[in-house]
Amino acid sequence: MDTQSIKNRFGIIGNSPALNHALNTAVQVANTDLSVLIVGESGVGKEVFSMIIHALSPRKHNPFIAVNCGAIPEGTIDSELFGHEKGSFTGAVDARKGYFETVNGGTIFLDEIGEMPLGTQARLLRVLEAGEFIRVGSSKVQKTDVRVIAATNRDLLDHTTAGKFRQDLYYRLSTVPIRVPSLRDRKEDIPLLFRKFAADFAERYKTLSVQLDATGMQLLVNYPWPGNVRELKNIAEQISVLSTDKTVTADVLQRFLPNRDTHSRSLALIGPTMAGTSSANGSDFNTERDILYKLFFDLKKDMNDLKQMIFDVAHHQGYTPVEPSSNTLLPVYKENEAAAGSAYNANTPILLENNDRHEEVEETLFLADREKELITKALKKHKSRRRDAATELGISERTLYRKIKEYDIKE
């Protein structure tokens, strides 16, 4: 099967040399049983490459499963991957097969392998070297024939130096490394991708396809795309749905780019000399800056999730959040008129102003207790299905995992 046929089959768009090289490597290694490590930033499409390798391998008629190591709590990941025996830990009411047992003969894709705990890494190494594993709570050695494809958006060599990732496992996994380029490293593909996404969304929403004028296309190509193809697709969908003018200029496009102000301010702080540097360290500088952007965006999203949860807690308790003024330090909550009592509840955190000095009056654990209670109820309602619980609470799964660990919630 030629490269273009594979692109058409798996929906890969682009002709950049870096993308073609990654795709050719995946095709060449597919017919073997070698372990593969796919490296690339979040949102570049690493999972698609794992599916290509499986689909072109002799295992293509056997199971394929993708596992996100970063989304499974440390206390349960061994059970998920290798299974457990009845009574091996609290809540283990029955014996359970793990992925390495159920996918025997097939392929397992371990995404975010850098998030895997060290103890689990040792178990995985044994699978790779001897094809053996032991269920949690058992002493019986079992055999499995599974091809492992791993992926990471981190520098695993740095992790090995820091003692966060086993060096022997790194070299065992990276028998064949495949580096998927970021979107900013294949700018020539950005117009093609946008046009494809715009056409797809026009068909889905029964509308005309949006077009970018020269200024809009220039802005689109020069934008750093920290979220890569995933972010570009989201922007294309937003424009397709919300833009009233089907010919989009740079001014219109800027309204849909979430970090345009941060990016502009950062460039201003960097200064024209550093921003235009073309030295040998230029690419490293740009990469580090983009990583910082992504960290800031993730932090902002987590703060928004937390803020929304606090407001929801207040609403459930009968309080109406009042937008804090410029001289307040904490959110102020007023009771709903339907709630009995005074202007402010005794348990409500407030700020008292006295001669331009603020005295904080609050019951420290009030919101934390309510937050923990809501999370516990949501987990119980959905029988510990964290994705469903996170959806009901209106927060991301990552925030929910962190809160469960922070409050030591037992499931």
pLDDT surpassing 90 at residue 338: no
Structure tokens at 175: 């028998």
Each residue of 101-140: b (16+ CB within 10 Å) or e?
bebbebbbbbbbbbbbbeebbebbeebbeeeebbbbbbee
Interstrand relation of 107-111 and 147-152 (parallel, antiparallel or unpaired): parallel
**Helix (H) or strand (E) segment spanning residue 147:** strand 147-152
From CA 80, how far away is CA 98, in angstroms rounded? 5
DSSP class of residue 76 equals: T
Partnered with residue 150 across adjacent β-strands are 37, 110
> Which band of pLDDT confidence, cut at 50, 70 and 90, is reported for residue 394?
confident
Q: Which of 193, 174, 172 is nearest to 182 (CA)?
A: 193
CB 113 within 8 A of CB 148: no
Half-sphere exposure of 187 (CA within 13 A, CB side): 9
Give the pLDDT confidence of 239-267 residue by residue, as tens digits: 999 988 889 999 999 999 875 444 444 43
Phi-psi region of 11 (alpha: psi -120 to 50; beta: other; left: phi over 0): left
As a whole number of Å, the CA-based R_g of the chain is 25
> Which band of pLDDT confidence, cut at 50, 70 and 90, is reported for residue 128?
very high
pLDDT surpassing 80 at residue 274: no
Phi-psi region of 91 (alpha: psi -120 to 50; beta: other; left: phi over 0): left
CB 399 within 8 A of CB 306: yes
When pLDDT is averaged across residues 205-230 and rounded to a whole number, the result is 94
CB 318 within 8 A of CB 336: yes
CB 240 within 8 A of CB 275: no
Q: At what angle do helices 228-242 and 190-204 cross, to 10 degrees?
A: 50
Q: How many angstroms separate the most distant Cα atoms in the chain?
A: 78
**Percent of the chain at pLDDT above 90?**
57
From CA 16, how far away is CA 2, in angstroms rounded? 16
Structure tokens at 90: 């609290």
Ordered by where they begin, the domains of the chain are 3-181 (3.40.50.300), 186-258 (1.10.8.60), 317-363 (no CATH)
From CA 89, how far away is CA 87, in angstroms rounded? 5
Structure tokens at 113: 């392998």
Higher pLDDT, 335 or 302: 302
Q: Cα–Cα distances in Å, from 229 out to 13, 19, 226, 389?
A: 10, 13, 9, 28
Give SS3 for 36.
Answer: strand
CB 237 within 8 A of CB 272: no
Residue 314: what pLDDT? 64
Structure tokens at 162: 């820091």
Q: Which of 169, 102, 69 is nearest to 129 (CA)?
A: 169
Q: Tokens 């690339």 identify what position?
A: 40
How many other CB atoms are found less than 10 A from the CB of residue 309?
Answer: 21
> Which band of pLDDT confidence, cut at 50, 70 and 90, is reported for residue 317?
low
Residue 405: what pLDDT? 83
Residue 374: what pLDDT? 85
382: Cβ contacts below 8 Å, ≥ 6 apart: 388, 389, 392
CB 177 within 8 A of CB 26: no
Give the pLDDT confidence of 28-54 residue by residue, as tens digits: 999 999 999 999 999 999 999 999 999
From CA 202, how far away is CA 239, in angstroms rounded? 10
